[in-house]
Amino acid sequence: AQTVTQSQPEMSVQEAETVTLSCTYDTSESNYYLFWYKQPPSRQMILVIRQEAYKQQNATENRFSVNFQKAAKSFSLKISDSQLGDTAMYFCAFKNNAGNMLTFGGGTRLMVKP
């Protein structure tokens, strides 16, 4: 079974600065997908970014980028130019190629301070 670990339960960052959220996973699969989801306070969970394991290039979505290290089984999220609206719970998730299910990490609560 896959496991996903987020070692930072809480983090804070000053507005406009850069912050990196860590995620490691354990799998014996070679082909899979990784996701970062964001859950703002009292709001719906939304997808931030997605990475296919067969792609060597790191995914980027505007201010959000990932550092995908397949050999190390690491998938960190970098948020550049942090904004107050980035305050949220962030969840890392894993999906293998064949199945439908996501395995989530425990989450990191990020607070962006003005």
Partner 1 sequence: DVKVTQSSRYLVKRTGEKVFLECVQDMDHENMFWYRQDPGLGLRLIYFSYDVKMKEKGDIPEGYSVSREKKERFSLILESASTNQTSMYLCASSSTREFSGETQYFGPGTRLLVL
Q: Where do contacts with partner 1 occur on this chain (CB under 8 A)?
A: 4, 6, 9, 33, 35, 37, 43-47, 50, 52, 91, 95, 100-102, 104-107
Q: Contact 49/113 with Cβ under 8 angstroms?
A: no
Give the residue with the Cβ less far from partner 1, 5 or 18.
Answer: 5
Using alpha carbons, select from 53, 54, 1, 6 the residue that is nearest to residue 26: 1
Cβ of residue 79: shortest distance to partner 1, in angstroms? 19
Give the residue with the Cβ less far from partner 1, 50 or 73.
Answer: 50
Provide DSSP, 59-78.
PEETTEEEEEETTTTEEEEE
Give the residue with the Cβ less far from partner 1, 43 or 114.
Answer: 43
